[in-house]
Amino acid sequence: MMPTKMESLVVAGNSISYDQHGDAARPAVVLLTGWCQDHRLFDPLVPLLADDYYVVRIDWRGHGDDRTPVADFGPVEQASDALAVIDSLGIDRFLPVSTSHGGWANLELTERVGTARVPASIVIDWLMTSATPEFLQNLAASRGSDWVQAQRELFDIWLDGSDNELVRNHLDNEMAAFDHEMWARSCDVIAEAYGKWGSPLQRMEKIPGERKIRHLFSQPTAAEYIGAQEDFHRTHPWFSYKLMGGETHFPTLDSPMHVADEIRSMIRSV
Residues annotated as catalytic (active site), given as ranges: 249
Single out the residue of 151, 217, 226 nearest to residue 183, CA to CA.
Answer: 151
Q: Compute the residue count for the chain.
A: 270
Q: How far is CA 179 from the centre of its chain?
A: 20
Single out the residue of 140, 170, 174 nearest to residue 158, CA to CA.
Answer: 170
